[in-house]
Chains A and B, each alone.
Chain A
């Protein structure tokens, strides 16, 4: 996670459902009503970086400003689907940066089971990605649906595996350059 890493910047911008615990004067702009106050108990989707900052009081033990909830991408429903078959879930539709988002979430929440589910998902899908990447026809063919559902981390994996395999084929004279 480098400061200039575009993926980590985009992860920061993903929305997280937050509930305000206190009434905040003048912050209605977040809800789309500039100038108004925000009432206690309002639920708003805030970017990860902002939600994390506002909820920091919870960790310090003082009265907190907002409480965070699990984002939809990591809801119970999704976890069950991933437990059933990791390969059929369209992660990209859930969140373009699914894994980096879940890393950040797991830093905030302690969810032992979710870690196991995600690790299993990542492994199963990585094996599938490797299969598709070594297919000389590339991303066309039967795998299109699966490959379209890859999140950003998985796309980089696919690209790494595919480029390497292609290089070796070019070196061995089985494929033409470019």
Chain B
């Protein structure tokens, strides 16, 4: 109770985690490959692009040993496109713009296709499916499939802010980017706030609230508030929930239970 930090992780910790994201750099000096605990770093040879963790890239940038190539979403054009989708598109009036597609996932254009996840293999030969924190979402891809709309990655606020702070000369029109990031954040915060109205579905009756596409910093920002609201709603609605359960148990006892009810109740929208 006397523990001074709030539940969850604080802003600086989220930013720390974001520093593990991989970014693309163009080195200006040679550097031997490094064997680090977090994984090997490829050797840097000046004209060739390399992928480094953000913390190392920023360090080299500050020492003027490398230039960072900004990810494709951190560009005034992409950002204003996302902002437009976020604020004007009918489908996304109450939802957040979609996150970058997972490997093997059909793009927004050809919806209706079955997603076919492409497995990857560990060194031991075990199969696994990479998930967002471990996918390179901030590298400057050379093979951008054209027609793929830009999307905000999980750590967009952190990466955007850090690059603006330390590598603004590598970005195209940093002032504009800063403005757009701020606008995006405000639009999305307003959506988060209007989402309070549907939170009671989450508190009772086994419903769910879709948080697809919400960034790490946004989650950290709203965690304390949203979980508090859900908790409050759950407590107030406890007696109603009790009555509902009793009713359900009665139905079950009377044989009116058809077995599919539970599946519907537990359905969550992802």
Contacts and interface: CB of A to CB of B under 8 A. Distances in A.
Interface of A: 4, 99-100, 102-103, 106-107, 110, 112, 115, 118-119, 122-123, 126-127, 129-131, 133-134, 153, 156-157, 160-161, 163-165, 167-168, 170-173
B10 interface: yes
A152 to B, nearest CB: 11
A11 to B, nearest CB: 11
Contact of A164 (B161, B196, B223, B238): B223
Contacts of A173: 165
A118 B236 contact: yes
Nearest to A161: B225
Interface string B1-44: 10000100011100100000000000000000000000000000
Contacts of A99: 232, 235-236
Given A106-B236, A130-B225, A168-B220, 7 more contacts: A106-B239, A110-B243, A126-B225, A129-B225, A156-B228, A168-B221, A172-B161
A110 B224 CA distance: 31
23 contacts: A99-B235, A102-B236, A103-B235, A103-B236, A103-B238, A106-B236, A112-B243, A115-B236, A122-B229, A122-B236, A123-B197, A123-B233, A126-B196, A127-B194, A160-B6, A161-B224, A161-B225, A164-B11, A164-B222, A164-B223, A167-B12, A168-B11, A168-B221
Q: How large is the interface on B (under 10, 10 to 19, 20 to 34, 35 or more residues)?
A: 20 to 34
B187 interface: no
Nearest to A1: B235
Given A123-B199, A127-B197, A168-B221, A160 B236 contact: no
B237 interface: yes
A157 B236 contact: no
A82 B257 CA distance: 38
A160 B8 CA distance: 11
Given A99-B236, A119-B236, A157 B229 contact: yes
A115 B193 contact: no
Contacts, number: 90
A166 to B, nearest CB: 9
Nearest to A102: B236
User: Nearest 5 CB-CB pairs, A to B?
Assistant: A160-B224, A161-B225, A171-B11, A167-B11, A106-B239
B200 interface: yes
B217 interface: yes
B189 interface: yes
A33 to B, nearest CB: 37
A7 to B, nearest CB: 12
B229 A168 contact: no
Contacts of A112: 240, 243
A102 B236 CA distance: 7
Contacts of A123: 196-197, 199-200, 229, 233
A115 B203 CA distance: 13
A5 to B, nearest CB: 9
Most buried by A among B193, B217, B221, B232: B232
Given A127-B194, A168-B217, A106 B238 contact: yes
Most buried by B among A123, A134, A153: A123
A110 B193 CA distance: 31
A167 B236 contact: no
B32 to A, nearest CB: 34
Contacts of A4: 1
A8 B233 CA distance: 17
Contacts of A100: 235
B193 A127 contact: yes
Contact of A119 (B194, B200, B217, B243): B200
Contacts of B238: 103, 106-107
B171 to A, nearest CB: 17
A24 to B, nearest CB: 30
A99 B232 CA distance: 8
A118 to B, nearest CB: 5
